[in-house]
Structure 1
Amino acid sequence: MKHITSPHNAIIRHAELLQRKSKARKKEGLFLVEGQREIMLCDQGGFELQQLLVCGSILLNTEDFEANDIYNKININSKPEVISVTQEVYEKLAYRTGTEGVIAFAKAKSQQLQDLKLSENPLILIAESPEKPGNLGAILRTADAAKVDAVIIANPVADLFNPNVVRSSVGCVFTVPVATGTTSEVVEFLKSKNINLYAATLQTSERYDVMDYTTGSAIALGTEATGLSQEMRDAALKNIIIPMSGAIDSMNLSVSAAILIFEAKRQRDFK
C-alpha cells in the first residue's frame, strides 16, 4: 500500500486541482468525494471509484490497516486502490471541517438526456441555469426524498461535482439520475416523451396546487434573480405560482422546488 507523507506529492497536488477547478474536473472526467456516506452512495450509484485516500488515524483510529478494513468500514462493493496519507496531508485536502478520514477519486458518468431511464409515468424536476452549488445540492436532496425519475439541469452554470454540491446534497447527487442540456434540448426531450411541462414563474401564472401532476410531468424552476427563460415559459403547458403573502415575491430555489415536487407526489400518492 502506498503511504504519502508530503502535501507536495503528485497525487495530492492532483487531488487539490480537482478540488478547486471545475475545468480540471470536466476535462478529466474525475472529481473528489469526501466522507463515508457520500463515498458509499457514490459506489452504490454506479460511479467508478478509482482511488481512496485514507487517514487511518481518523477513519479507523489506527495507522495499521488493510484495504479490506476500509471497504468494510464504508460499505462499498468496488475495490479501488487504497492510499494511506498522514493526518497533515489529509487535512490539507479535506473540504469539510468535520473530517471523516477518507476521500475518493471518482469518475463522472454520462449526463446525456437520451441516457435517462424513465418510468412509464415520470415525474421530473428541472432547474434552469442554477448558479449556487448549495442550492443545486439542496434540490438534489429534495429530489431524492421525493424519489423523482430525474433531475434535468438546463443550461448548467454550477458544476454538478463541485465539492459544495456533493456536500450540500449529502450524496444525493449520486442517488438521483441527472442529465443536462440546453433549454431547447430539454424542451424537445420532454415533447418526445409526451411529458407535460409546468413552469414556476410570476408571469401569467395559476396556483400550483390546482394543477394535475398525475400524468407524466416536469416542473421547471429558474434562478431567484432572473427566473425561467422565455423559451421555457413558452414551452410550458401551464405557468404555475406559489401564492405568497409577504413583502417579497420569491423564495429560495430549493424551498420552492420542495413545495412543488411534493404537491405532485401528494397527488400521485392519493390518485
Structure 2
Amino acid sequence: MKTITSIQNPLVKQITGLKEKSRERKKSGFFVLEGERELHLALKGKYMVETVLFCDDIFPEEKIPSLSVSSGTRFIKISKEIYQKIAYRETTEGILAITKSKDHSLENLKIQNKNPLILVAEAPEKPGNIGALLRTADAANLDAVIIANPKTDLYNPNIIRSSVGCIFTNNIAVGSTTEIIEFLKINQIHINCAALTASVHYHTVDFTKPAAIVVGTEATGLSDEWLDNSSQNIIIPMQGEIDSMNVSVSAAIIIFEAKRQRNFH
C-alpha cells in the first residue's frame, strides 16, 4: 500500500484544489469527501470512489475491509501532518476520499413513485441552508430535490458537511426555473409556492396528489416566473413580528404537513 508523507506530493495539491475551487471540481469531475459516515453514504448512493486516503493514527488500517468499495479503488496511507493539512474539519475520523461527481441534470432525474412529493429550492446560496434542506428531504424520504438556478456547486465541502452526507442519499437534480416548471407541468405535478401574496395557509392545501413544494431565498423569495406558474401559493401563518423564517425551517414545516396528509407512507 502506498504511503504519502510529503506535503509537496502532487496528490496533496490535487486534493487541496478540489476542496477549495469549484472550478477544479467541475473541470475534473471529482470532489473530496471526508468522514466515515459520509463515505458509507456515498457508497450506498452508488458513487464511484477513486481513492481513499486514511491516517493510520486515527483510522486504523484494520478497518479498511469494512468499507464496501469497488475493487478498483486505491488506498493510500497518509501521515497525521498531511491529514491535518488536507482535512476540512478538525474532528473527523481520519479518512478522506476522492469521489466522482454525478450528473445532476434534469433530464437524468428518475422518479419511481407515481405520486411524488418533491422539494424545489430556487437559487439557494448558503451552503448551510442547502445542507439543512437536504437533511430534511432525507428525513422525509422525498422523491426528489430540485435546485433551480444554483449559486454554488453541490460538492462544495460546506454542503457535504452541513448535509451530514445527505447529499448522497437524495435524488437530486439541478436546472433553470423555466426547465423545472416545464418538467413539473409535463409530469402533472402541482406547484405549491411558498409566498406572501395570494396565499392560503399551508395546512389547508391538499398534498396527497403529486406535489412540488417550492421555496425561495429569505431575502428575495421566489421569482415572478414561479409565482406566475404556481398551482397554489402557500404561507405559514406567523404570530410574531417578522414575516419569514429560515428557508430550511419553512420547508420542513410544509414537507411534514404533506407527509402527515399522506400518513407518512
Query: Aligned partners of 2:239, 2:202: CA distance in 1, in Å?
Result: 15
Query: Aligned partners of 2:28, 2:259: CA distance in 1, in Å?
Result: 38
Q: Which residue of 2 aligns with 1:25?
A: 25
- TM-score normalised to structure 2 length: 0.97
Q: Which residue of 1 aligns with 2:35?
A: 35
Would you say the 8 A contact 2:49–2:69 is kept in 1?
no
The one of 82, 93, 102 aligned to 1:100? 93
Give the length in aligned residue pairs: 263
Question: Secondary structure of the equivalent of 2:262?
Answer: helix
Query: Aligned partners of 1:207, 1:251: CA distance in 2, in Å?
Result: 15
The structure whose residues are more often helix, as a share, is 1
Task: Describe the shift of the 1:176–1:195 C-alpha distance in structure 2 as closer, same or farther (beyond 3 A).
Answer: same
Matches within 5 A, 1:76-115: 76-79=68-71, 80-115=73-108
Q: Which residue of 1 aligns with 2:52?
A: 52
Gaps of 5+ in 1: none
Q: Which residue of 1 aligns with 2:11?
A: 11
Amino acid at match of 2:39: I
The one of 164, 180, 191 aligned to 1:197? 191
Query: Aligned partners of 2:58, 2:140: CA distance in 1, in Å?
Result: 34
Shift of 1:233: 1.1
Instruction: Please identify, of 112-121 and 133-142, the stretch whose mean Cα deviation from structure 2 is larger.
Output: 112-121
Question: Secondary structure of the equivalent of 1:8?
Answer: coil
The one of 149, 168, 171 aligned to 1:177? 171
Matches within 5 A, 1:213-232: 213-232=207-226
Identity across the alignment (%): 53
Shift of 1:270: 7.0
Query: Aligned partners of 1:142, 1:252: CA distance in 2, in Å?
Result: 13
The one of 116, 119, 131 aligned to 1:125? 119
Amino acid at match of 2:236: I
Query: Aligned partners of 2:252, 2:101: CA distance in 1, in Å?
Result: 26
- TM-score normalised to structure 1 length: 0.94
Question: Secondary structure of the equivalent of 1:96?
Answer: coil
Query: Aligned partners of 1:23, 1:222: CA distance in 2, in Å?
Result: 26
